[in-house]
A and B are shown apart, each in its own frame.
Chain A
Amino acid sequence: MSSGTTSEQDKRALYWLGERLIDYRHPVMIVVLVVTAYFAYLCSQLTLETSFGDLLPQSHPFVQIHNKYAGTFGGANNIQLMVEVKDGDIFTVSTLDRIYKITEEMDRVYGVNHNQIDSIGHRTTRYLRAQAGGFLKAEPVMIQMPKTADDAANIKRIVHNTESIYGLLVSLDDRAALVRANFIEARLDHRRTFSEINERVIAPFEKGWIGALIKGRDALKGEQAAPAVVETVYRDTPAAKAGLKTGDTIVSANGKPVADRIELAKVIEPLQPGATVALGVKRGDAVENVPLTIGDRDLEVYVAGEPRLYGWVYSYVNDIFWILTITWCFEWVLRWMYFHDWRGALRPSLTGVIAAIWGLAFIHVIGFALDPLILVMPFLITARAVSHAIQMHDRYYEEYERHDWNQRKAIVAAFAELFVPTFSGIATDALGVLVIILVPIVMLRNLAIVASWWILAITVAELLLNPIVYYYLRAPDMDAVLAREKGWYKALINRVTDWNLSPVGKISTMIFWLVLAAIGAVLMRGLIVGDPTSASPLVWEDSPYNVSHAHIQDKFGGVEPLIVVSEGKDRDAMKEPRVLRTMEKFQRYLERDRDIGYSVSLTDILRSVNQVFHELEPKWGVIPNTSRDVAQTFFIFFSGSPPTETAKWVDPSYTTAHVTFFARNHKGDNIARIIARCKEFIAANPMKNEKGETLAEFKLAGGLIGVLAAANEELVRNDLLMNFLGFFTIYLIVLFTYRSWAAGIYLLLPLVISNIIINAAMAVWGIGINVNTLPLVTVGVGFGIDYGLYILSRIIEEIRVNGDLELSIREALTTSGKAVSFTAVVMVFSTALWTFSNIRFNAVMGGLLAIWMFVSFVASETLLPVMISYFRPGFIMREAKRASRRPVVQPQAAAVS
């Protein structure tokens, strides 16, 4: 007897292989363990990081433009920090000083592009000032911290009169100021950025604020101690009420030594308003104890932007450990209850751990790093490993009983009988996931290779190591093996199988799946590419990140940049009035889109300088008529600034500039519409001179919106292809396994239906296809194929013995089907644990994949056998005919039945 469609000759070979595996168990075991130990060492070298460039389709023209100009015009990795006062406006000495210091600290955060910081407290934010003699000069809005109320009032006047600041860096209600910083992609370190912003930029000025400016550590002298000297004490603040004075040195807070404002803020931050902190204050040589009562917070700081978002994701990453711990313990208990023996609980863990070591080591070998957002993926692969291990162990017990409690024969028989479905299942999964390699996104390509290897590594544990390990281990007690055939679980499986195979059950099953598939097909049309909401789908809607993001969007209209480059054909192209007018027209055109908040470009500066130059007459707020006038106007504004500062508007040769639009959100459909409008405008408005020669061209597109548009376009192009290739790969492997054109259709139909249902669920729950969800969805395509393979192989195996289809189906469902149902139930519960993750993406994908596993399992257990029973496929029935023609037993192989 045999399983699958393996011939008797093949089967004999598999039995022979199993025997040799046991004969040569010592060398095989040593080799596997030595290699695994080396791989375990490599695993310890693994790092957790996200490379932004790897998430982008590098061959896409948008990304190429983004890469070319990100260093000068700004990239996709911006942080927006908003300071909002609770009462009054920001134009008080205390608040403006803090904005200045916050900007200064932001400039010191690792990876910040120092020339791409926008804030009223930064040197590059300038306004035009008329000097004596009628000269105009561009000066920073805040060259230093204001000291008096008059200084603050003067800054307010400047802000209100400067078009490029009011509404853009200071809100129109004067209650909030924005600090925008662009990060150099190659130097992005999300965890470091996150902690530096928390500790240095936010805490000392928000929750850790006592109403006095405390000296910070000198950025250029990191090792040098910086005593927490009080620089300024503001009126009516806790510090003033406590009697702190300029020049005091705070040496301790609640008995804890503090050396600078960061350390002081760490002590103050957790305290609630009204609490008292005992400050040790050094005045002269004496240290006094000064009690200070914490006041209500007078301002809030909100931070958004991609580096911040990933920082939050990293801060939640330890979730994985408690999820894995609970999963492990929970599964051990379930498996122990199912097998009535600890050996059954151990086997899937061995398979999963060894495959994980091989998989993780490979990640290190190919120079890839783990991304916290793909952590669900290893979990899924491990789920497959567990599934195969449970099948194999269940079969081992079955064969143990059948072979009169002969351990060696049982191990060899389980190995030989399940080799084909196990290997087919693994190969199907591995090749199915490998198709992701076709998406031209580095992260997905790496992921495809790693996941494929990891899945293949399951064979090492399951087909090489475990038969040997279980030969070494003492065989289970007979009563433990026999207990599997009793109990409520077995009774439940028998009852469900009886109903499913009854005439009513068969019709009900067919109708149920048909209706479900039809409903799913209608609903899945709502599936979108990209993000479906303005909030980030990576973290929960009420998470600190999304709350901050929403606040900033509300206050400033839009903060997510779309950078369109105006690339000139020659030097000084950006001084051509025609080019500049087209850029301005482009701004006005796209600002009419409901999801564009505002835009900035060189033309804004030009118009306002021209107006100031003409005594603020509104009619002069236009682009000058000649390139000479344009050049003169630029000279007025840029003459006092170094090229590094002006480069964020236009390159030094005036060949290339940009128009930056700030979008209100990055919903997939909005991005697609905005890009389509850009293309329409560009096609209708070529930048040519009178002779028809091209002066400049618009190039799409940088900034977050630009690169997301590129990623979305690639995903749209590849999503259908991925699905098709995933199914096609499965079909091919099934074709080779069963040597039947029809077998693939029988096995694929339950999978297609579960895919339809999951796509419908994604559409209904607003989960878009993006660079994070695509790999999981593609791996999911093969979900349940191993369930189907085990059941189908067992049907064939049984029919070769008894020749009766109905009996074979029933036998398959109560043996292999029982193990399948147990595996599925365990994995569904374990995967569902991810829904408690603080990373919304992992939680949602965990929940979704749990449902996916459940649907695939139910479809494989109900629809597949019913279809086989109805249509009596030839590739199964021919085995029944052979069975009736030949004697059952093969001397070595067949004692099994």
Chain B
Amino acid sequence: MGLWESIAIVTVFSIAVIVIDEIIHARRRKRREGAGAARAGH
């Protein structure tokens, strides 16, 4: 493995972690907002 392969792998990996994290948090926010709206509806 050379320098550029190494840089490519770590970059792709880091971006993947960021994207997954954002998706997870977005879902949580949505769920929370949904739950909040439901409570408000009551």
Contacts and interface: CB of A to CB of B under 8 A. Distances in A.
A349 B13 CA distance: 13
A322 interface: yes
B35 interface: no
Interface string A311-342: 00000001001101100110011001000011
Interface string B1-37: 1110110011001100110011001001100100000
B17 A322 contact: no
Interface string A222-246: 0000000000000000000000000
B6 A342 contact: no
Given A321-B6, A479-B28, A341 B21 contact: yes
B17 A342 contact: yes
B13 A329 contact: yes
Given A336-B21, A477-B29, A322 B13 contact: no
Contacts of B5: 321
B42 to A, nearest CB: 22
A328 B13 contact: yes
A480 interface: yes
A345 B10 contact: no
Contacts of A333: 17
B10 to A, nearest CB: 4
Contacts of A55: none
Contacts, number: 44
A479 B28 CA distance: 9
A477 B25 contact: yes
A325 to B, nearest CB: 5
A480 B25 contact: yes
A341 B25 CA distance: 9
Contact of A342 (B2, B9, B18): B18
Contact of A345 (B3, B17, B32): B17
Given A318-B1, A322-B6, A342-B22, A332 B28 contact: no
A318 B5 CA distance: 11
Contacts of A322: 1, 6
A336 B2 CA distance: 26
Contacts of B22: 342
**Majority SS of interface residues in chain A?**
helix
Nearest to A477: B25
Contact of A325 (B1, B18, B21): B1
Interface residues of A, number: 18
A267 interface: no
B1 A321 contact: yes
A336 B22 CA distance: 12
Contacts of A346: 14, 18
Contact of B2 (A321, A329, A332, A480): A321
Contacts of A318: 1-2
Contacts of B10: 324-325, 328-329
A52 B17 CA distance: 44
Contact of B28 (A324, A336, A477): A477
A325 B17 contact: no
Contacts of B9: 325, 329
A328 B1 CA distance: 15
A321 B21 contact: no
B28 A325 contact: no
Given A325-B6, A325-B9, A332 B21 contact: no
Contacts of B18: 342, 346
B38 to A, nearest CB: 18
A605 B21 CA distance: 78
B20 to A, nearest CB: 8
A799 B2 CA distance: 51
A479 B14 CA distance: 22
A364 to B, nearest CB: 16
B14 A324 contact: no
B14 A332 contact: yes
* Most B Cβ at <10 Å: residue of A329, A342, A479: A342
A349 B7 CA distance: 13
A336 B17 contact: yes
B26 to A, nearest CB: 10
A324 B17 contact: no
Nearest to B22: A342
Interface in A480-526: 480
A324 B1 CA distance: 11
A591 to B, nearest CB: 49
Contacts of A345: 14, 17
A451 B22 CA distance: 37
Contacts of B25: 341, 477, 480
A141 to B, nearest CB: 46
A345 B6 CA distance: 18
A322 B21 CA distance: 25
B31 to A, nearest CB: 11
A336 B21 CA distance: 9
B3 to A, nearest CB: 6
A350 to B, nearest CB: 11
Interface of A: 318, 321-322, 324-325, 328-329, 332-333, 336, 341-342, 345-346, 349, 477, 479-480
24 contacts: A318-B1, A321-B1, A321-B2, A321-B5, A321-B6, A322-B1, A324-B10, A325-B6, A325-B9, A325-B10, A329-B9, A332-B13, A333-B17, A336-B21, A341-B21, A342-B18, A342-B21, A342-B22, A345-B17, A346-B14, A346-B18, A477-B25, A477-B29, A480-B25
Given A324-B10, A328-B10, A479-B28, 11 more contacts: A321-B3, A321-B5, A322-B1, A329-B9, A332-B17, A333-B17, A336-B21, A341-B25, A342-B18, A342-B22, A477-B25
Interface of B: 1-3, 5-6, 9-10, 13-14, 17-18, 21-22, 25, 28-29, 32
Closest 6 CB pairs of A and B: A342-B21, A321-B6, A328-B10, A321-B1, A342-B18, A325-B6
